[in-house]
Amino acid sequence: MDADKPPRRSAATRPQATKTTGARPASAKRPAAKATTTKVAARASGTALAGSTAPAVRAGKKATTTAVADERARKRTARMKLQRATRRPRAADNDEETDGAGGRLFVTALARGLEVLSAFGSRDRALGNLELARRTSLPKPTISRITHTLTQLGYLAYDPRAATYQLGGRTLSLSYAALANLDIRRVARPIMERLADAHNLHIALAMRDKLMMLNIETCEGQGLVGLRLPPGSRMPVAVTALGKAYLAAIPDSERKPLLDSIRRQHGDDWPMIQRSVERSVREVAERGYCVSAGEWRKDINAVGAPVTVPGSSTVYALCIGGPAYLVSPDELENDYGPAIAAIAREISAAMGGD
């Protein structure tokens, strides 16, 4: 039986079995290596792409931030302009002239306080904060603070029952001091009284206050009815004999900005006013007086003449007038015009002129 068995092979001659577990052929490992290389390349490409787009992203963010800041600045500027517009209109909107006031030394709070005092007219017994705000175009809270301060200082007097203010003692003291130191009033009054008694008409001596003429002295004849304008009353420069006589006497350098303010104030009426002023300038240059018949009020006629004071830049104006049924245009031209021009020259001479 042993002879029938095949001989055993030694381990050295036994064929080796190929192991298939735990190891892969080299050909099977190559795809994995390629996949890994692809992932690495993709990450590198993404990093490079991100690096190249980062400046553009940052630039976009910066542009957006700048646009937002610009929009905020634009809105802030618009808001400030609106606040300034509602706070106080300028001269052209508030029957005031623009005379270049301002600058580094200009005190706005003081100017507003003086505007409140100037709002009181000769016929105003008392005014409330609402009316003062309307007349000055200042906000009501600002008016409240100003009137409180002026009351504490004695320039206004407060009536708690009516919640109104009237001019106080310190304001009256200033007014009296100003009038008492106007030498022209002392010189002019007896001359004015003589003319008023002779013609029984209203005679006024005035000086300019912004776009108004302020009466500083007045005289009325014994028989005058229908026109009484006491010292402190005001009339417009543009359409009165007083105002046009004043405009005719001041230098062109002063007249031009004043006429610009009048033009802005009167709007559509300006062409007619301009022609009237130009005619008055010629009349004063030719004969010393100018006529205003029914321009300020339809039932009032007057004639005016300028008064200059030697050594002073202040120009005053005189006028004589009355109701139209007492003063005809012919009388203005032939009687009252020459008379007012004569006393204007007399007052100027008494003040030291020729």
Assessment of whether the complete model's pTM goes beyond 0.75: no
Task: Judge whether 137 lies within some domain.
Answer: yes
Rounded-to-integer distance, Cα 117 and Cα 72, Å: 40
Q: Are residues 132 and 280 in the same domain?
A: no
Q: Are residues 165 and 221 in the same domain?
A: no
Give me the pLDDT at residue 19, please. Answer: 47
Gyration radius of the chain over CA positions:
46
Rounded-to-integer distance, Cα 86 and Cα 80, Å: 10
Q: What is the CATH number of the domain that holds 116?
A: 1.10.10.10
Per-residue model confidence as pLDDT tens digits over 125-179:
899 999 999 999 999 999 999 999 999 999 999 999 999 999 999 988 888 777 7
Per-residue model confidence as pLDDT tens digits over 10-64:
544 555 544 444 445 544 445 555 555 555 455 555 555 455 555 665 666 666 7
Rounded-to-integer distance, Cα 125 and Cα 116, Å: 14
Give me the pLDDT at residue 72, please. Answer: 78
Give me the pLDDT at residue 242, please. Answer: 96
Task: Judge whether 3 lies within some domain.
Answer: no
Q: Are residues 196 and 288 in the same domain?
A: yes
**Confidence at 313, pLDDT banded by 50, 70, 90:** confident
Task: Judge whether 58 lies within some domain.
Answer: no
Helix (H, G, I), strand (E, B) or coil at 51: helix
Question: Of 327, 277, 275, 272, which is closest to residue 299 (Cα–Cα)?
Answer: 327
Rounded-to-integer distance, Cα 259 and Cα 211, Å: 10
* Length of the chain (residues): 354
Task: Judge whether 87 lies within some domain.
Answer: no
**Confidence at 93, pLDDT banded by 50, 70, 90:** very low
Q: Are residues 197 and 329 in the same domain?
A: yes
Arithmetic mean of pLDDT over the chain: 80
Q: Are residues 194 and 316 in the same domain?
A: yes
Task: Judge whether 332 lies within some domain.
Answer: yes
- Helix axis angle, 270-287 to 252-266, nearest 10°: 150
Q: Are residues 159 and 283 in the same domain?
A: no
Rounded-to-integer distance, Cα 244 and Cα 146, Å: 35
Give me the pLDDT at residue 1, please. Answer: 47
What is residue 157's DSSP assignment? E
Give me the pLDDT at residue 261, please. Answer: 95
Give the range of the structural domain holding residue 122, as residue numbers without chain letter.
Answer: 108-173
Q: Are residues 118 and 154 in the same domain?
A: yes
Residue with the bigger pLDDT between 128 and 311: it is 128
